[in-house]
Structures are given as structure tokens and as C-alpha cells.
Amino acid sequence: MPQRSVVSWNGMIAGYAQNGYFKEALEIFQKMQLENVCPNYVTLVSVLRAISRLGALELGKWVHLYCQRNEIEVDDVLGSALIDMYSKCGSIEKAIQVFERVPRRNPVTWNAIIGGLSVHGRARDALDYFNKMEMEGVKPTDVCYISVLSACSHAGLVDEGRLYFDQMVRIAGLDPRIEHYGCMVDLFGRAGLFEEAEEFISKMPIKPDGVIWKALLGACKMHGNVEMGQRVAKKLMDLAPSDSGSYVALSNIYASLGDWEGVSAVRLMMKEKDIRKNPGCSWIELDGTIHEFLVEDESHPRAREIRLMLEEMSEKLRLNGYKPDTKQLLLNMDEEERESLVFHHSEKIAVAFGLISTKRNAPLQIVKNLRICGDCHSSMKFISRIYTRRIIVRDRNRFHHFENGACSCMDYW
């Protein structure tokens, strides 16, 4: 196109973002600025959604500042996008500030802040905002209830979860979706209430799908419930034979209990069916650029410096009492190989890069595509204390704020 208007640019950005190409959407946005095309309201909303998925906080701050400098009104739509961006980029306090300044709040705006507080593990605050919403006369939607039930699940608030589920059905008159049932199964499972979880599933008016069984399988892994884990994994394998998640979870349950025959059997099954585990990937934003890392990744231009920092981290952690958790690694490796591999998980590489690339005491923010493993969770607590860093990790399920040797999840995750 010889002349590209802001409408043309918006179409490209939205198209990439809606199809999951978030980095490409931001690259288009940057090209748009280089060609001196001023973004409008529609551009900013689309870009903020892409930024949210990538966790690119600095770029998100730039967009917010652009709105302020150009006196663009932060209404309910743009306000919700900003709240969602700050929440998903790890800055929940900034999300709260934006929320408090939105003049007209609708259910989407309320859900943005309630959902944000939920994924940051601030369940009590999420419930307080839900109650404020009702007091202001805003009727909660089914999406709001998903956020509230998820908050209860991640904080172990079983009684409150039951209460809000009952309120949704009996008072709000909403029909529960599969996501609501999944939250309740997750709530009971995390709390170790397996009989209640199974009874709840048996009474569901709709057929349980992968959402339900994955929630229960995750709880089986957490509590080492092999008998139920086997049954649930089989259901998932029948529902989605090529999905690696159920095989990996079952293998991890066996590994956590030292049942290496069970681990071998699952891995042989995966090999025969040509099922491969989704690779772990982590990224960190630095000066507006996203740096991605895979397990044992040495493709980065600063790979040598990163490797030296990983060696330093490993030594310092050991001196401070850290012991690698290698139970879930391959059986045909010796212990030294296992310990080396577990210390080259993608989030540890991203942290090493952050340590060599930022000022002393600066916070580090990592995004991971999968759930953080137990060893990395333990390591991050040590690293935060040894290096005096606040480390924020957004994994597939929630945020973990590591500071001074502790995590905001209180090890309930």
C-alpha cells in the first residue's frame, strides 16, 4: 500500500494480536511509530492486549504515558485494557491506581481488577472488590464469578468458594459454565478434598470435559494421589489422546513417589504414540525488547555471560543450603547430569540474564508458558534472598512474587 492510514495499521496490529502473534503485533506498532503515524484509541486498546500477553511492562507504561500526554480519555474500555495490562505485567498496585481513576466502571472494568488480584494471589482483596462492586449496584457477570472462584481456589478458601458458587446459582440466577465447575474442582482438589471433588463432578448437570479432569489431575499430582491420578489421566487420554499434559502429569506423580517403573511405562507410551512434551519457554523484557529462552538455551548473544552467571548462582545456592529436586528427570542420567539440567530450566536462564543486565537490587520479571516446577520455585526463593532481588514470575496459572526468600503464594500453588 503506497499510503497507509492509521486504520490500515490498526487492522494489521489487531489481526496479528487476535491470532496469537503478539510479538509481531508489537513490531508492527513500532514500525507504525517509525513512519510517524500517530496511534489512536483503537490502536492503543489492541496494543495493550498484545503487551498484556507478553508481560512487556515498560512498553505498557509507555502506552499509558502516551495517553496522559495526549489527553486521551481513559474510559471503561481503555481503562479495562490498562488494568489488565498492568495486572498481567506484574504491577498490580498500578492496576489498582488506574481502576480507582476510571470515572465510569462497568462489569468489564470490575472483572479486570478482580481477575488481576486473583492471579496475584490476593484473594481477600479480590473478594473485597467483588463486594464493593455489588454495593455500587453493578451486577456481577459469570466472568466475574470465575475470577472470584479462582481466587478462592488459589488461596485455599474452601468455605468462601462454596458460598460464592451457591450465590451465583441461587441469588444471581446464573447458569454455571464448565469453567465455574472447573474452579470448584480445583478448589476441592488443592485442599485435598478428593471425595468432595468426585462427588461434585458426579452431580454436574453437564458432561465433564478436559477442564474438569485437568483440574483434578493437577490436585492428584500436588498431593501424590496415584490411585485417582491413574483413573483421571486415563479419562484425559481418552478425551485427548495426543495431549502431552496428562501423560506428563501422571509421570510426575510416579516420579514424586519414586515409582520409576510407572515413569518408564508412561514415557514408553508417549514414545510409542509419538507424543512430545511442550517445551518450557521463558522471557524477560529489557529496554522494550523481549528476550526468550528455552531449556539449556545457548542461542543468546550473551550466552557465555549467562552461563557464567548460572554457574555462580548454582554455587551460591548450594552454599546457602539449596538442594536440587531432580526426581522428575530422566532415569538414564547420573545425578550430576540431572542437577545440571534442572539448573538450566528456561526461567533460571532468564533470571541469570536479568542479573547480568540490570542494576543491583532492580526487580526482575519473568513470564513462563508453563507452570513453574517445584525446583525452580524453590530456587527463586533462594535467589531472591542471596541477590537481594524481587523476582516476579508469571506462569501459566498465576503470579509468584519472590522476595527475601519467600513467595507470595505461601507455597500453596
User: Model confidence over 154-170: pLDDT tens digits?
Assistant: 999 999 999 999 999 99
Q: How far apart are CA 29 and CA 12, in angstroms?
A: 9
Dihedral sign for Cα atoms in the order 381, 186, 366, 299: positive
What pLDDT sits at residue 3? 61
Q: Is-above-0.75 flag for pTM?
A: yes
pLDDT one-digit tens code per residue, 46-81: 999 999 999 999 999 999 999 999 999 899 999 999
Is the pLDDT assigned to residue 327 strictly greater than 70?
no
What pLDDT sits at residue 340? 59
**Cell numbers of 90, please?**
506484574
285: left (phi over 0), alpha (psi -120 to 50) or beta: beta
What pLDDT sits at residue 20? 87
Q: Are 53 and 88 in contact (CB under 8 A)?
A: yes
Domain residue ranges of the chain, discontinuous segments joined by +: 1-104, 281-407
Is the pLDDT assigned to residue 41 strictly greater than 80?
yes
Across 350-354, average pLDDT:
98
What pLDDT sits at residue 332? 47
Is the pLDDT assigned to residue 334 strictly greater than 50?
no
- Name the residue among 215, 249, 258, 245 with its Cα closest to residue 230: 249
Is the pLDDT assigned to residue 277 strictly greater than 90?
no
What pLDDT sits at residue 341? 67
What pLDDT sits at residue 276? 86
What pLDDT sits at residue 351? 98
What pLDDT sits at residue 69? 92
pLDDT one-digit tens code per residue, 21-37: 998 999 999 899 888 88
**Cell numbers of 174, please?**
446464573
- Measured CA to CA in angstroms, residue 53 lies from 60, 129, 396 at distances of 11, 24, 11
Is the pLDDT assigned to residue 217 strictly greater than 70?
yes
pLDDT one-digit tens code per residue, 97-150: 999 999 889 999 999 999 999 999 999 999 999 999 999 999 999 999 999 999
Give the CA radius of gyration of the chain.
Answer: 22
Q: Label residues 243-278 b or e (16+ Cβ within 10 Å = b).
A: eebbbbbbbbbbbbeeeeebbeebbeebeeeebeee
- Of the given ranges (158-162, 272-276, 357-361), which has the lowest mean pLDDT? 272-276
Is the pLDDT assigned to residue 272 strictly greater than 50?
yes
What pLDDT sits at residue 98? 97
329: left (phi over 0), alpha (psi -120 to 50) or beta: beta
What pLDDT sits at residue 257? 79
Is the pLDDT assigned to residue 377 strictly greater than 80?
yes
Average pLDDT over the chain reads: 91
Is the pLDDT assigned to residue 262 strictly greater than 90?
no
Is the pLDDT assigned to residue 337 strictly greater than 60?
no
The answer regarding whether domain 1-104 maps to CATH 1.25.40 reads yes
Is the pLDDT assigned to residue 256 strictly greater than 50?
yes
- Name the residue among 342, 308, 317 with its Cα closest to residue 328: 342
Neighbouring C-beta atoms of residue 316, cutoff 10 Å: 14
Is the pLDDT assigned to residue 96 strictly greater than 60?
yes
Is the pLDDT assigned to residue 383 strictly greater than 90?
yes
What pLDDT sits at residue 201? 97
